[in-house]
Structure 1
Amino acid sequence: MMMKQIIFFGDSLTQGYGLRDPAKAAFPALIQKRLDEVGNGFNVINAGLSGDTTFSALNRLKSVLKMQTDIFVLELGANDLIRGHSASDVEANLQHMIDLVKHDHPSAPILLLGMELPEWIPGAKAAGYRNIYTRLADKNQIHLVPFLLEGVAGIPHLNMFDGIHPLAEGYEIIAKNVWKTLKVVMETMQ
């Protein structure tokens, strides 16, 4: 029997940017470790690419979707905000990705990993970002982790000097956050 596969598709937060050994310490690797412990036959693919925006990720999604995909985990949007892309473009790009996954792998559940903006970011642009992930999850009836960096963002000892990328200790918390919902997703498949 072929092992089931979970694709983690995202940016540097998925890839594990700055970690000494992302293959062991990024949150997809920590999820793989948990899956191995519970022995349910899932293999994790880390398809994170540092610097990816929803625009650049769209260009590489087709090649990623050629892989066996039993669960698709989508984490993107932070770099779009940093680069000043409009919330409506980000939402449209994420929707397009969700549509492509559903088209190519109709039976694969999708888990969306949300981003939140710090409250101190002002203006209409920030307001537009605040509900993207909840809207997409509701509209597409997909699973959602509302804030990937819950319990990690803004906590200096859990993040690198840049204040954006988690350290290994931060990724441990992120993996626990994602695992709670991913477990539910896997249960719906049985």
Structure 2
Amino acid sequence: MKSRRLFLKTLAISPIVLAMACSDTPKVAKLAQGGRVVALGDSLTFGYGADKSQSYPVVLAQKTGWNIINMGVNGDTTKDVLNRMDSVISENPKLVLLGIGGNDVLRRVNASETRANLVSIIKALQNKNIPVVLIAEPHLSASALFGKASDNPVYKDVASEMGVPLLEKAWSTILSDDKLKSDQIHANGVGYAKFADELYQFLKEIGYV
């Protein structure tokens, strides 16, 4: 993927972050096969528009060997995810893949509220020493539905503040290509497979795979 950006604070993200200065040292410890991972988000995580077996968490689990629990809920906003953090934490994941916020835009939630909710979600996980990878979602405005999607800038701000890795432009690229969509705001099976591959490569770059 052409454009990826990784925001890391120095030490206080989680115990698995390695405090090494060498550029060739992995930034995180590799997550073993069978490791428990939560994919947390909305319909793009759930896999709306494709068979359940084609959702990105299922495809990513096949690539990594991880035990990935799909906690994507159709229609969820950042507030909805924040309200179910207890159930997420109770899964005792070794990693959370967080992709949420597109429905906030569709429902005209104030950007400052979305930002605050994202920060609160990540803080709740970090307080339990659960690392997070943040996944940018596009602006889902009416004009973007029929043109080229682009990432909501809130994700860069939150990733920088909270010191978490950010996967950029994956969904925006997929949802700008009619061949990869089941409708204007959801991927099809091929699109979800492409996203799983992009995320896999990103996780490999930062050291989890």
Asked if these proteins are the same fold (TM beyond 0.5), I'd say: yes
Q: Distance in 1 between matches of 2:208 and 2:193?
A: 25
TM-score (norm 2): 0.75
- 1:52-89 deviation per Cα after TM superposition (whole angstroms, max 9, x unaligned): 00111111121111112101111100001000001000
Residue type at the aligned position of 1:71: L
Match of 1:47 in 2: 71
- 1:3-32 deviation per Cα after TM superposition (whole angstroms, max 9, x unaligned): 42111100000000131x21x201111100
Q: Quick one: which of 164, 186, 193 aligns to 1:172?
A: 193
Q: Distance in 1 between matches of 2:60 and 2:208?
A: 18
- 1:110-140 deviation per Cα after TM superposition (whole angstroms, max 9, x unaligned): 100002326946xxxxxxx842101111111
Gaps of 5+ in 2: 1-31, 145-150
2:55 matched to 1:26? yes
Q: Alpha-carbon deviation of 1:169?
A: 0.7
Which of the pair is proportionally richer in helix? 1
Note if contact 1:150-1:177 (Cα within 8 Å) is conserved in structure 2: no
Residue type at the aligned position of 2:85: L
List aligned pairs for 1:1-190, cutoff 5 A.
3-19=34-50, 21-22=51-52, 24-36=53-65, 42-104=66-128, 106=129, 108-117=130-139, 120=143, 130-160=152-182, 162-185=183-206, 187=207
Residue type at the aligned position of 1:67: E
Task: Specify the SS of the correspondent of 1:151.
Answer: helix
Q: Percent identity?
A: 28
Distance 1:35 1:144, change over 3 A: same
Q: Distance in 2 between matches of 1:46 and 1:184?
A: 23
Which stretches of structure 1, 4 residues or longer, exceed 6 Å deviation after superposition? none
Q: Distance in 2 between matches of 1:34 and 1:148?
A: 17
Q: Alpha-carbon deviation of 1:2?
A: 9.6
More moved, 111-120 vs 171-180:
111-120
Q: Distance in 2 between matches of 1:56 and 1:141?
A: 23
Task: Specify the SS of the correspondent of 2:109.
Answer: coil
Task: Specify the SS of the correspondent of 1:112.
Answer: strand
Residue type at the aligned position of 1:16: G
Q: Distance in 2 between matches of 1:54 and 1:169?
A: 26
Task: Specify the SS of the correspondent of 1:101.
Answer: helix
More moved, 174-183 vs 66-75:
174-183
Report how many aligned residue pairs link the two structures: 171
Note if contact 1:143-1:181 (Cα within 8 Å) is conserved in structure 2: no
Note if contact 1:14-1:26 (Cα within 8 Å) is conserved in structure 2: yes
Task: Specify the SS of the correspondent of 2:87.
Answer: helix
- Superposed CA RMSD in Å reads 2.2
Note if contact 2:33-2:64 (Cα within 8 Å) is conserved in structure 1: no
TM-score (norm 1): 0.82
Distance 1:172 1:156, change over 3 A: same
